[in-house]
Amino acid sequence: MFHEGLYVVGVKPARMAAIELDGVTKRFGGVTALQSVDLTVEEGEIFGFLGPNGAGKSTCINILLDFVRPTEGSVRVLDKDAYEGSTEIRERTGVLPEGYDVYDRLTGYQHLEFAIESKQADDDPDELLDRVGLSPEEGARKAGGYSKGMAQRLILAMALVDEPDLLILDEPTTGLDPNGARLLRDIVREENERGATVFFSSHILSQVEAVCDTVGILNEGELIAKDSVEELRQTETGDTRLTVTLGGDDAETAREAVSGLDTVTSATADGNRLVVECDDDAKMGVLTAIEDAGITVEDFEAAEPSLEDLFAAYTDADSTEASR
Amino acid sequence: MSAEDNPFDGVGDTVRGADEWLNTTFGWYAVAKKEFQDALRSKGFWVLAILFTALFIRPVAAELYFSPATNQARSQLGMQLLISRYYLNLVSFLLPIVAIFAGYAAISKEHTSGSIKVLLSLPHSRREVIIGKIVGRCAVVGVPLLISFGLTALFLVVSKLTFKPGMFTMWAALSLLFTLVIVTVAVSISGAVLRNIYSLMASIVFYLEITFVWNLQVNAIAGWLAENLGFAPAVRWQLAFVAKLFNPSQAYKTIVNSQLSQGANGARMARWSMFSQPSDRMETICTGALNGNATVQRSLFGNQTVCQDAGQSLPLWLSDPAVLGYMAAWLVLAGAISYYTFDRYDL
């Protein structure tokens, strides 16, 4: 499209942004739900939107879909203004919203036909049902009798109609069993390989880690970090907390034994228990070191870093940088 | 059986073709169709059709099948009497209630339950949602109503009463239009307030207003204006006419009445009978607003004042087509106000 000479040598042409938020603020009455959020999601990315419940994730998604209008700032989706071009955006977007309800009296098939007609597409409802793991018999039933998980699968199938360029999934694993969650991850990867950009919001860190390339972290209406998933993992290292229950009372010896390991950040003895902060993949090494010191390990428990810990890590990093 | 042998195969193709054409031509079509499919599966829809039919047939059954007193004169006049004395009131009192219950939750319920997020995740603009909802809910009330009109017509044909198809069709079409106006208002309120309870309350207020209060208010306001602003009597009644005719319930009744009388002076008499004032005022209404001539006629029932043709036609804005226009204006006005508010909401 552009003349080659326009590019400065050595600078890669930027990929087009699928989603662009520029200084977006949203206030409901006196409550600020989003505070000057700047966010870019590149085309072809699987973007994880992470934050605790009430952080403003859904408000942000509602703004992308023009369910809610921002108080300040500009929003572009698929290179269209989120308000002016909303219908065009939604023609090319598949959405699994949060806090929705199905039409109780319509069957699964009728839901899909409604989506297919609305998008003027020609998808086969049976194929869509099959992809999300619903049988034709289930599809012929009224959606009012569906479990939460089945409803979630149905709406996901509606989102897949007409091969969307952008998939917006708001807390998509809500109500899904582990099999359903795995199926969802597979679908996300398949859609991404086909070329779709995926915007995946969740309050569960491990879900976002499992599929996403890039992660944005939202807390109390502010975007506190945006990183690749590798960088995110590094930030959280050291935050895995291993609590080991020892056979004897000699926790001090055990503490000395593990303190020497360079994968261990800190170790605290507490009666017959030892609390070790270490790299996530160093857990076995720690346990081996304790046993090598002649102390039996009765039990151990590894606490994944919580979202709060992650926020703390990012917030601390920010303040350290600022004080430098 | 091969496809060529099936005589209904072409019909299926035509229906499919029409369905596809409508869907690609009108953005609201998918919403309206979903709305209708949803209602088809509810029992209430079929209860409506049966209820309407029972109510329309009841007086005919009582009077014309079992009453031995029915003579030829009564049979001849029966159709007009049936419509003006019974059907007109039945439709204007009862159908708005049915229409309101069919329409008041159309958008607010989807908002409360959250299904509106599914609806608006699909590429529908909010304008298309309002139009699709209005069209869909109108079909939900209109189709059982048409079915019951059809059954009533059949019933009348085999009764002792002389069936006048033109008159029946006229009444049925106007009743349908009136009902659809009320459905449109109810759906529009639903989109404008987004809460079921507010929507129901506002719709009930609207019903009470058009059914019981409107005319009294118009008379009071026009009277007050005439006294305080010194309007000429003719202007006072002209204003009152327009204000009254903007009441869809009044508009419906007066058009049906004027069509029933079938005479050249039918529309004038129908408008005139919208008022019941002392005789001097009735004369002013006849001469000042209706371009007519009030005269006393002697009849079997004593002296009757009528508003006769005085060589001048009824003002255009009081004619039947104009009144029809006032009714239709509600469809556009209600939809537009609803869109204007619904479009501004955060969902």
Q: If contacts are CB pairs under 8 Å, which of residues 39-68 in chain A contact chain B? A: 62, 65-68
The yes-or-no verdict on residue B279 having pLDDT over 50 is yes
Give whole-number Cα distances, B163 to A240, B79, B166, in Å: 88, 7, 9
| Nearest CA-CA partner of A241 in A280, A273, A296 | A280
pLDDT category, B2, cuts 50, 70, 90? very low
Supply the pLDDT for residue B110. 93
A103·B115 Cβ contact <8 A: yes
Q: Give CA–CA dist B33/B39, Å, rounded.
A: 10
Q: Which of B13-17, B51-55, B195-199 has the highest mean pLDDT?
A: B195-199
Distances (CA, A) of B190 to A104, A190, B19, B110, B187: 20, 41, 27, 10, 5
Please give the structure tokens belonging to residue B87: 């059907």
Determine the pLDDT at residue A312.
67
The answer to whether A212 and A48 have CB atoms below 8 angstroms apart is yes
Task: Give the contacts of A112 (CB within 8 A, at least 6 positions apart).
Answer: A123, A125, A128, A129, A139, A154, A157, A158, A161
Residue A6, Cα to own-chain centre: how many angstroms?
37
Contact A101 B23 (CB under 8 A): no
- B-chain residues near A62 (CB < 8 A): 346-347
Average pLDDT, chain B: 86
pLDDT at A5: 44
Distance from CA of A213 to the nearest CA of B (A): 25
Provide the shortest C-alpha distance from residue A178 to chain B (in Å): 24
Cβ-based contacts of B37 with chain A (< 8 Å): 106, 110
Q: How far is B54 from chain A (nearest CA, A)?
A: 27
Alpha carbon distance B125, B343 (integer Å): 9
Give ∠ CA B94-B187-A113 in degrees, rounded to 5: 115
B342 to chain A: closest CA residue: A67
Among partner residues B38, B113, B121, which is closest to A65 by beta-carbon distance? B121
| Measured distance CA(A140)–CA(A124) in Å, rounded | 14
**A158 close contact with B: CB closer than 8 A:** yes
Provide the CA B254 distance to its chain's centre, in angstroms.
Answer: 11
A110/B37 Cβ within 8 A: yes
User: Hey, what's the torsion of the CAs at B195, B197, B202, B208, to 10 degrees?
Assistant: 160
Min Cα–Cα distance to chain A from B151, Å: 28
Sequence-distant (≥ 6) Cβ neighbours of residue A234 within 8 angstroms: none
Among A28, A90, A99, beta carbon nearest to B122: A90
Ramachandran bin of A222, using left for φ above 0, alpha for ψ from -120 to 50, beta for the remaining angles = beta
Are A110 and B120 in contact (CB < 8 Å)? no
Q: Is residue A214 within 8 Å of A228, Cβ to Cβ?
A: yes
pLDDT at B26 > cutoff 70: yes
- Residue B122 CB neighbour total at 10 angstroms: 25
Residues forming beta bridges with residue A222, ordered by sequence position: A219
Q: Fold for A238-304, please state it.
A: Alpha-Beta Plaits (3.30.70)
Q: What pLDDT tens digit does each residue of chain A (324 aa) get? A: 444 444 444 454 556 899 999 999 999 988 999 999 999 999 999 999 998 888 899 999 999 999 999 999 999 999 999 999 999 999 999 999 998 999 999 999 999 999 999 999 999 999 999 999 999 999 999 999 999 999 999 999 999 999 999 999 999 988 888 899 999 999 999 999 999 999 999 988 888 888 898 999 998 899 988 888 877 766 654 557 788 888 877 788 888 888 888 888 788 888 888 888 877 777 888 888 888 888 888 888 877 666 666 766 776 555 444 333
Q: Is A25 on the interface with B (CB under 8 A)?
A: no
In this structure, the number of other CB atoms found within 10 A of the CB of residue A24 comes to 25
Q: Is residue B215's pLDDT more than 80?
A: yes
Burial class (CB in 10 A: 0-12, 13-18, 19+), A14: exposed
CB–CB of A62 and B347 under 8 A?
yes
Given CB atoms, is A112 within the 8 Å cutoff of chain B?
Answer: no
